[in-house]
């Protein structure tokens, strides 16, 4: 029998319980509020960019978080190739999301069934490059990072008339471009000629080389577009990040007012303004200057008004330029395109930024009781942080001057969630990547897949996160910092060898990267095994002392909340 209690305390208890449940179970949703006339993304892929004078070693840096949670994560190294006159390159529809069971074939074989019907001439030479969901870096150290930004719904073109999508464009850029500007011009012209969309809408790419980094944004031109119309099949714009500044794209359009008359700062399609006028997104008689993001991908709200769901933009500026005291109440559309950081940010700083979860702010996912008894930031889904637990992988690219391109360019790749993973370096000039990077699937556990090693460790870390993350940080210190400290010497050896034999330099880089990656993958399998033992049954098993102790008690705030929400009952003896 349940003991009856007075109405007032019970009502208060239910009110508190409702608040706890509401805040603890808030679903993840759009980076911007949903509007009936906008196609907006659900994604959490954050792109960080730094110009060469904003980093201590002159690196131009970009990042990308492939955050799908169910997409294909496999990676490939595509070798450079020479082509005979008359050879053609087929264009395929490549969905970012679509996967196939491994027994049917790898994604990059299966996409060949989605031929668009368009072929374009091969150039005499195509560059070698590495790619996952997108192309990330070629042997000329052209680098790319991606973030879905959405677009006004009237722009969307889901018809097969659109023959290019964002993945296909990045692969073509990797094959054919040396510099950021070349890549932007190439992708823009191909999208205009052959149409853009079908599986994609508004997208942003960070396009970088050793000298500069650009924000490139592209959108479809509407569902009625056809090649016969004679009009561009896409609308696009690009803005250069100043060399001494940093920028970010958290699934939101970032380009504001544009001036195509300043080619050192802007590039754009011929219809960048006219299409907005035609679609009714901009009135030139208004007296207001044309604003790209307000026309094509507007969004209301701020970090504060969205209760942290749009906090990534504010958080980035708050971390890199705290002296400017950016306010979370500032509408995201009013935050700057880029800022000069208070101090130059290194590649290691950028890695830390990719793991940021708004620690210490009002949006901290472990604030109060949000993180449960083990301060786990993955329980609470009410905020959107830069670090995300549903990442397929994260890349940090470095483009550097003063070395041969194949030696200067580096992709740092981390599989799975950033906080529990480890960044591994791959020089632009490697000839192969580990076979374990080529395979894997979310629905089939596979010890031959590198990605599963990191998911395996991550899974065991969730049990006692506050303690387990310390074990992971120690491993990251050993392997990430260990690799970072070796880079200078490897650079030197490879550059000296390159002057004598580029092929031998490539072999040196391949051996270093492959050996390091294989050791890291093995270390993470071992780390998962050890955490399984150590935190079994919520205790602490000391393998060396062969002893067991109770885990640390849960925080008093959490225990108090449990007591407050626990409806006191007597055992029901009638059952």
Residue 249 lies in a domain: yes
Residues paired with residue 394 on neighbouring β-strands, in sequence order: 65, 414
Positions in the chain short of pLDDT 70: 1-42, 567-575
Residue 363 lies in a domain: yes
In 3D, which of 461, 464, 494, 490 has the Cα closest to residue 476? 461
Residue 346 lies in a domain: yes
Q: Name all contacts of 159-162 with Cβ < 8 Å and 24+ positions apart.
A: 159/197, 159/198, 159/223, 160/93, 160/116, 160/198, 161/195, 161/225, 161/226, 161/227, 161/233, 162/194, 162/195, 162/196, 162/197, 162/198, 162/220, 162/225, 162/233
Indicate the pairing of strand 151-152 with strand 38-39.
antiparallel
Compute how many other C-beta atoms are within 10 angstroms of the C-beta atom of residue 326: 21
pTM over 0.85: yes
Helix (H), strand (E) at residue 560: helix 556-565
**SS3 of 119-138:** EEECCCEECCEEECCCEEEE
Assess contact for 151 and 39: CB atoms under 8 A.
Answer: yes
Residue 60 lies in a domain: yes
Determine the pLDDT at residue 567.
Answer: 58
Q: Distance between CA 442 and CA 447 in Å, rounded?
A: 12
Residue 207 lies in a domain: yes
Assess contact for 173 and 186: CB atoms under 8 A.
Answer: yes
Q: Distance between CA 258 and CA 84 in Å, rounded?
A: 41
Determine the pLDDT at residue 2.
Answer: 33
Phi, psi of 509 (to 5 degrees): -65, -40
E strand spans, 348-433: 393-399, 410-415, 424-427
Determine the pLDDT at residue 41.
Answer: 55
Determine the pLDDT at residue 69.
Answer: 87
Helix (H), strand (E) at residue 347: helix 347-354
- Summarised one tens digit per residue, pLDDT across range 99-109 is 999 999 999 99
**Separation of CA 118 from chain center:** 30
Looking from the CA of 312 toward its CB, the CA atoms found within 13 Å total 29
Q: Look at phi and psi of residue 308 and say left if phi exceeds 0, alpha if psi is from -120 to 50, else beta.
A: left
Which alpha helices (DSSP H) does 218-340 contain, by range? 274-279, 292-296, 312-320
**What's the total number of domains in the chain?**
1
Determine the pLDDT at residue 293.
Answer: 98
Phi, psi of 117 (to 5 degrees): 95, -5
Determine the pLDDT at residue 42.
Answer: 62
Residue 116 lies in a domain: yes
Q: Look at phi and psi of residue 368 and say left if phi exceeds 0, alpha if psi is from -120 to 50, else beta.
A: left
- Dmax (CA) of the chain: 88
Residue 422 lies in a domain: no
Determine the pLDDT at residue 10.
Answer: 32
Determine the pLDDT at residue 563.
Answer: 80
Q: What would the two tokens of residue 456 be?
A: 């395996």
**Separation of CA 449 from chain center:** 21
Residue 236 lies in a domain: yes
- Summarised one tens digit per residue, pLDDT across range 252-288 is 999 999 998 999 999 999 999 999 999 999 999 999 9
Determine the pLDDT at residue 14.
Answer: 32
Assess contact for 321 and 342: CB atoms under 8 A.
Answer: yes
Determine the pLDDT at residue 572.
Answer: 53
Q: What would the two tokens of residue 327 be?
A: 């306010």
Determine the pLDDT at residue 33.
Answer: 33
- Summarised one tens digit per residue, pLDDT across range 453-485 is 999 999 999 999 999 999 999 999 999 999 999
Q: Which domain holds residue 319?
A: 24-369+383-401
């Amino acid at each position: 029998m349940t003991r009856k209690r007075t109405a007032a305390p019970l009502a208060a208890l239910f009110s508190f319980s409702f608040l706890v449940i509401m805040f603890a179970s808030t679903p993840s949703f759009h980076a911007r509020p949903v509007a009936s006339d906008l196609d907006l993304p659900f994604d959490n892929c954050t792109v960080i960019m730094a110009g060469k004078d904003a980093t201590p070693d002159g690196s131009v840096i970009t990042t990308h978080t492939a955050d799908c949670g169910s997409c294909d994560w496999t990676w490939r190294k595509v070798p450079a190739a020479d082509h005979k006159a008359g050879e053609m390159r087929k264009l395929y529809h490549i969905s970012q999301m679509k996967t196939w069971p491994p027994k049917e074939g790898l994604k990059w074989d299966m996409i060949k069934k989605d031929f668009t019907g368009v072929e374009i001439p091969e150039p005499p030479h195509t560059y070698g490059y590495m790619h996952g969901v997108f192309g990330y870096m070629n042997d000329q150290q052209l680098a790319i990072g991606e973030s879905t930004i959405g677009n006004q719904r009237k722009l969307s073109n889901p018809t097969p008339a659109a023959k290019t999508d964002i993945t296909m464009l990045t692969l073509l850029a990797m094959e054919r471009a040396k510099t950021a500007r070349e890549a932007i011009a190439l992708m823009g012209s191909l999208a205009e000629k052959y149409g853009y969309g079908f599986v994609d809408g508004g997208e942003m790419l960070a396009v970088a080389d050793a000298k500069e980094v650009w924000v490139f944004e592209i959108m479809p031109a509407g569902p009625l577009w056809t090649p016969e119309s004679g009009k561009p099949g896409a609308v696009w714009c690009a803005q250069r990040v100043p060399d001494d500044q940093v920028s970010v794209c958290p699934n939101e359009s970032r380009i504001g007012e544009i001036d195509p008359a300043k080619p050192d700062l802007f590039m754009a399609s011929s219809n960048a303004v006219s299409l907005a006028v035609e679609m009714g997104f901009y009135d030139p008689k208004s007296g207001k200057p044309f604003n790209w993001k307000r026309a094509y991908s507007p969004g209301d709200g701020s970090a504060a008004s969205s209760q942290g769901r749009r906090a990534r933009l504010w958080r980035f500026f708050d971390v890199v330029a705290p002296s400017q005291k950016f306010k979370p109440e500032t509408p995201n559309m009013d935050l700057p395109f880029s800022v000069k950081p208070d101090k130059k940010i290194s590649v290691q700083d950028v890695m830390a930024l990719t793991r940021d979860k708004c620690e210490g702010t009002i949006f901290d996912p472990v604030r109060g009781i949000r993180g449960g008894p083990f301060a786990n930031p993955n329980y609470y889904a009410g905020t959107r942080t830069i670090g995300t637990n549903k990442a397929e992988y994260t890349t940090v690219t470095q483009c550097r001057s003063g070395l041969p391109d194949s030696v200067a360019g580096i992709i740092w790749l981390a599989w799975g969630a950033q906080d529990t993973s480890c960044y591994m370096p791959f020089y632009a000039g490697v000839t192969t990547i580990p076979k374990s990077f080529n395979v894997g699937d979310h629905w089939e556990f596979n010890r031959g897949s590198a990605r599963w090693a990191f998911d395996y460790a991550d899974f065991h870390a969730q049990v006692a996160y506050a303690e387990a993350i310390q074990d992971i940080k120690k491993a990251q210190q050993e392997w990430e910092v260990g690799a970072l400290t070796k880079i200078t010497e490897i650079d030197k050896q490879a550059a000296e060898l390159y002057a004598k034999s580029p092929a031998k330099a490539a072999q040196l880089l391949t051996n270093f990267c492959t050996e390091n990656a294989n050791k890291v993958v093995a270390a993470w399998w071992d780390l998962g095994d050890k955490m399984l033992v150590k935190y079994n049954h919520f205790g602490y098993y000391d393998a060396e002392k062969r002893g067991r102790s109770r885990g640390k008690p849960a925080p008093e705030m959490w225990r108090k909340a449990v007591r407050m929400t626990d409806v006191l009952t007597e055992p029901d003896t009638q059952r």
